[in-house]
Each structure stands twice: as structure tokens, then as C-alpha cells.
Amino acid sequence: MKQEILRIEKAIAFTKQVFESELMQQLKLTKVSAPIAVLSGTGINDDLNGYERTVDFPIKQLKDKKAVVVNSLAKWKRIRLQELEVEEDHGIVTDMRALRPDEDYSSIHSIYVDQWDWEKRISPHSRSIDFLKSEVRKIYKALKQTELQVSSIYDDVQPILPSDITFIHSEQLLKMYPKLSPKEREQEIVKQYGAVFLIGIGGKLSNGEPHDGRAPDYDDWSTRSDEGFTGLNGDILVWHPVLQDSFEISSMGIRVDKKALINQLDEKGAFGRKTLFFHKLLLEDKLPESIGGGIGQSRVCMFMLRKRHIGEVQVGIWDESIKTKEKEKGIVLL
């Protein structure tokens, strides 16, 4: 068993190394350092769906000012692009480590989140669906190349990703499967195509509900595109052959400009955020246009190594009953 765990650890390290290298090459990214926590009350930390609790703590040397462990680095990265004066069509990537105590445990969720958080400076003229798709294809190419390299070393991994990723808007998906839940719709479309980029996450669809939640102040989910739908963001979904289910690899999108930020804050009833540090910078035109996202490191490893549980590729905190249950299935959690 110990040797098997060591073998898995080596495979995890190899997978991460390969994908990170491919991603940086495809998107022209430079690896940078990043914080584990930021000061509370600045608007820099991400609110995710808006109701999750954060892990916070006082800092003695700052007269007990509160800091919060990050949920993700979407807004911090945009500030960093400006500070580093990164040129257009280039960006940054970092190892993001987060704690999300309200996350519901499952085979693909734990309270520990590790992802490649990336952000890329773009021109205002690049705020389009066509540009979004071009960047998604680059990430997908990095995934394809990683799968090929992993499969060349590990005999139990066979390449299954299709040659191209399929694009569909969440409104189109709703029309196709009006009686299914959002997750059931995802399962149907990804099972059919193998790899899908689902566009338009956060804005209300024709049924009055969003496909899934998004905070109002990083992804642009309200701008109407040339295709007649709203949203310049989305999720990369692949079919996991062991779980036999749709599997989210990444959430990403073109970031809000001033107009989209105002619209989305208003829609979410969160206009009070306009006085926060990050939001003031954006409203005063002091931040660059950008595209960015997070790509789950453990998710990529789960998919590439064909693992059934996220605890097989990351060390987490699990209830003993969960450990026992998984062990009975032959799954050992790290």
C-alpha cells in the first residue's frame, strides 16, 4: 500500500508539472507568488456564490485587523497585472490554495481547494465570444497534451479527450433539456460530446434562474454577445470515464468592465460594494481589461489519473466514516 501511495504521489507531481508547463506556453503566462490570505473589507477576496463563510483571523501586528483566507484570486490577479505592468496578450499564473469550510463533501469536493489561478491582460477590443473561445481552445490543447504525456507513462490511462471541445450556451442547453436540472443538463451534453465549454454562467436564463451562481464582480455574465446571448464566461467540462459523469475542470471568463460591474452589482443588490478598494479601482479605470480563471489542480489530476475520489489526489480532512466507506471500495484517501 505504501508503495502504491508513493506511485500515485509521483504521478500527481508529473501531471501537475506537465499541465502547468503546457498552460504557461499556450497562454503566455509567467509564474508568480500569491497570498494565502488578504485583508478583510477590501473587496479583493472573492464571494463565490455570495453566501459561503470565509476563514478569518486577526493580525496582531496590524492592531488585530482581520484577514481572510482567499476563496480564489480573481480580483487580486487583476490588481497584480496592473502592478507588474504586464503587456497585452500576456499574463500571470499562480498556485492558489484556499479553504472553503461550507463546501459539501463529495467524491469531487473537499474544503481544501488547489488550483492554477491565471489572469491575462487583453485589449478592450477582445471582449467577445470569439476571443473567449480562442483562449478556451488553448487551455483545451494543454489538457490534450497532458493526457497524451500521462498516457505515455502510465499504461492504465488511455487518451479519451475528443479532438475538439464543443461550445454551447447555457440558454441553448436549457432549451434542449427544459425538464432537467442544470447538473443533469451538463451530464447529458458532456456525455454526448466528451468535452464542452458551457457559456453564460451567472446571468438569469429564460426560466428566470441562472445555470449556476457567480459573484457579480469578476466574470462578465451580463454583456450581450454577437450570438444573441448574455455572458462572456463559462466552464470547461469533460466526461470522467470512471465516475461516468460530467466533470468540471475550470471556471473562467472575460472579466467585468465598468459597465458590466455596475449592471451586475445592481442586479445582485450589492451596489454597496462600489466603495471597496478593488471596486473603486475598476470604476476609476485604474485596472486593465483581462480574462482569467481557475483550473483545479486536484480536478486535473483526478481526471488524468482516472481517480474516483478527490481524496486520492489531495490530503484533506475527512470524517472517519467517509474514510472507512471509501476503503471498503478499495479507495485510500491520502
> Where along the chain do its domains lie?
2-328
72, 107, 110, 115: which one is catalytic? Answer: 115
Please indicate whether residue 115 is annotated as part of the active site. Answer: yes
For the chain, give percent helix, strand, coil, nearest 5.
40, 25, 40
47, 235, 257, 289: which one is catalytic? Answer: 235
CATH number of 2-328: 3.30.930.10
Nearest to 213 by CA among 71, 308, 41: 71
46, 135, 312, 326: which one is catalytic? Answer: 46
* 213 CB neighbour count, 10 Å cutoff: 14
Q: What is the dihedral of CA 146, 70, 312, 294, to 10 degrees?
A: -20
d(CA 147, CA 155): 12
pLDDT digits (tens, 9 = 90+) for 86-113: 999 999 999 999 888 777 777 788 888 8
Please indicate whether residue 248 is annotated as part of the active site. Answer: yes
Which H or E element spans position 5? Answer: helix 2-27
The model carries a pTM of 0.92
Q: Who contacts 272 (Cβ-Cβ below 8 Å, separation ≥6)?
A: none
Tell me the DSSP string of 25-47.
HHHTEEE----SEEETTSS-S--
Segment 144-153 shows an average pLDDT of 96
The pLDDT value recorded for residue 90 is 98
Q: How does residue 167 score in pLDDT terms, banded at 50, 70 and 90?
A: very high
Please indicate whether residue 235 is annotated as part of the active site. Answer: yes
The pLDDT value recorded for residue 51 is 59
DSSP-derived secondary structure letter, 318: -
* 178 CB neighbour count, 10 Å cutoff: 10
